[in-house]
Amino acid sequence: MIRRLKHYVALHAQNLFGALGRVARQPIGSLMTIIVIAIALALPAGLRVLLNNAQILSGSWDGAIDFTVYLNLDVDAARAEQLTRDVQAREDITQAVFISRSDALAEFREYSGFGEALDALDENPLPHALVVRPASGDKADVEALAGALELMPETNFVQLDTAWVERLSRMLTLAKRVVDIATILLALAVVLIIGNTIRLEINNRREEIQVVKLVGGSDGFIRRPFLYLGFCYGLAGSVVAALTVALGLSLVASPTRALAQVYGSDFSLAGLTGPQILLLLGSGALLGWMGAGVAAARHLKAIEPS
Amino acid sequence: MIRFENVYKRYPNGRAALASVSFRLERGEMAFLTGPSGSGKSTLLKLIALIERPSRGTVLVGNQNTSRVQHRRVPHFRRRLGVVFQDNKLLSDRTVFDNVALPLVIAALRRREIGRRVRAALDQVGLLGYEKHSPVALSSGEQQRVGIARAIASRPELVIADEPTGNLDPELSKEILGLFERFNEVGVTILIATHDVGLIEEHQHKRLRLDGGKVVPEHLE
């Protein structure tokens, strides 16, 4: 039993090193194959990383669905501050910030660029307002809270802007679906690329395959070196793909940080995590194995000694 | 060891290669299969090695009916058989050692045992010390001896050879035949196809003469 196991391990190690030797013996051809595989793997991997980052970003917005309660123009500052304290006392509210009409005007003057237009007006057109942060992130809870605040006699209207958050999340779902489809297609491409490479290799070694069949080599024995060759191509391709994605991320990391800073965010790009790298390498090797398996199943049968 | 009973072989293109061939070769016998080219010698050997299957009739090898050997069992069947080819069919990108070791690697022998048997086989064909050479660096006679070493490395009870001396001059051919006789002396059953009647004249072994796909009585000598 142990003897058979040892033999089995030795046989597979031999096949693995044989395959590596074959890859090394034709460096240019092998490198081209590996680069094509790497591109096909790096595309979905890179898209996935971007998607991850978009999700992290949208996630940081999801939790903060602040909304604004605009009060009637005839509500004075003292009443508005009292109201802020009342609202603040509610259990379903984390925080309520009072923005007086003069603060609002100053802010508007500074950021809108309509400062001169405002000067033409006799009086401040802006009302007092409360910026409310709900305790719950749940959409229904937020809408219920907004409804309740709308019913206060001092409220003019409540501006609840969750729609864009929802739009963004829908867009991300769509993008994820597109990336999924691209992943499947490119995985198929990797299987075909490796299948074709292995097909050529099988043709080149036609004579050897015939001899091995003549001296009693089983189908498994004949198939094994080709499966290992496919495995090596897939694994090498995914290593290059992982390096490509890492390189690409490092190139856009600093512009992204600069962009985030302009928006007052400390967001920085997340790269490939350990498990993701393992997944990439694993799927590359598996796809290579599969491609070789398909080619071997289709072409080895046809080669019989004559 | 080998028994043919009313064996017919017709190829898909319609060519009839063998017609009602019957003969026996006992265990431990050595025989020559003669006849002009195209007489069906190669086909007969292919039926024994299960490279082809008979259209009709029965081929028994070592008491096993070859038509009952399933496709996936063919490799196991072939492992009990040594085959020598006219063009030796050595792998030029591997050393002499690896060529001879191939059937033993396939049979999953231990590495030490493989080394022992390869050296024993090379010793028997007089090529001990050539393990590391590439077959292409050897003369045609030496290449053929490597091919024979590969055929006997797994110690088969039966060795078949298709024109093993076809590419060799008379001197080397005699040497090769001498090798087969030595194996036969230790009990290996041997069947050699050859069109070179002059070469086998002085040998006292059984002869099967094929002509037009039939075994014809031997009455030349």
Instruction: Give the model's confidence band at B150: pLDDT under 50 very low, under 70 low, under 90 confident, else very high.
Output: very high
Domains of chain A (ranges; CATH) run 2-61+166-299 (no CATH), 66-161 (3.30.70.3040)
| pLDDT tens by residue, A25-62 | 888 888 999 999 999 999 999 999 988 888 887 766 65
Burial A189-223 (b: 16+ CB within 10 A, else e): bbbebbbebbbebbeebeebbbbbbbbbbbbebbb
Q: Do B220 and B36 meet the contact criterion of CB atoms below 8 Å apart?
A: no
DSSP string over B40-65: SHHHHHHHHTTSS--SEEEEEETTEE
Q: Which residue has the tokens 């009693």?
A: A216
| pLDDT tens by residue, B57-105 | 999 998 889 888 998 899 999 999 999 988 889 999 899 999 999 999 9
Residue in chain A lying closest to B112 (CA): A7
Query: Which sign does the torsion angle of CA A39, A43, A48, A51 carry?
Result: positive
Beta strands in A72-165 (DSSP E): 93-99, 129-134, 155-159
H-run or E-run covering B161: strand B158-162
Q: What does the pLDDT read at residue A60? A: 64
Q: Which residue has the tokens 């006849």?
A: B35
Largest CA distance in chain B: 50
Our CA-based measurement puts residue B163 at a distance from the nearest CA of chain A, in whole angstroms, of 15
**pLDDT greater at residue B31 or residue A125:** B31
Residues of B in contact with A217 (CB under 8 A): 75, 102, 106
Burial A32-55 (b: 16+ CB within 10 A, else e): ebbbbbbbbbbbbbbbbbbbbbeb
| pLDDT tens by residue, A107-146 | 777 777 677 777 777 788 888 888 888 887 677 788 888 8
| pLDDT tens by residue, A146-189 | 888 888 888 888 887 667 777 887 888 899 999 999 999 999 99
Q: Which residue has the tokens 């992982």?
A: A242
- Residue A289 zone, left/alpha/beta (φ > 0; ψ -120 to 50; rest): alpha
- Residue A200 zone, left/alpha/beta (φ > 0; ψ -120 to 50; rest): alpha
CB contact under 8 A, A216 and B51: no
Using the Cβ of B71 and the Cβ atoms of chain A, whether some distance falls under 8 Å is answered with no
Instruction: Give the model's confidence band at A260: pLDDT under 50 very low, under 70 low, under 90 confident, else very high.
Output: confident
- How far, in Å, CA of B209 to CA of B32, rounded? 8
CB contact set of B2 (below 8 Å; sequence gap of 6+): B23, B24, B25, B48, B59, B60, B61, B158, B189, B191
CB pairs < 8 Å spanning A and B:
54
Q: Do B180 and B192 meet the contact criterion of CB atoms below 8 Å apart?
A: yes
The number of beta carbons lying within 10 Å of the beta carbon of residue A101 is 20
- How far, in Å, CA of A240 to CA of B160, rounded? 51
Q: ipTM of the assembly?
A: 0.88
In this complex, the residue of B72, B89, B106 whose CB is nearest that of residue A216 is B106
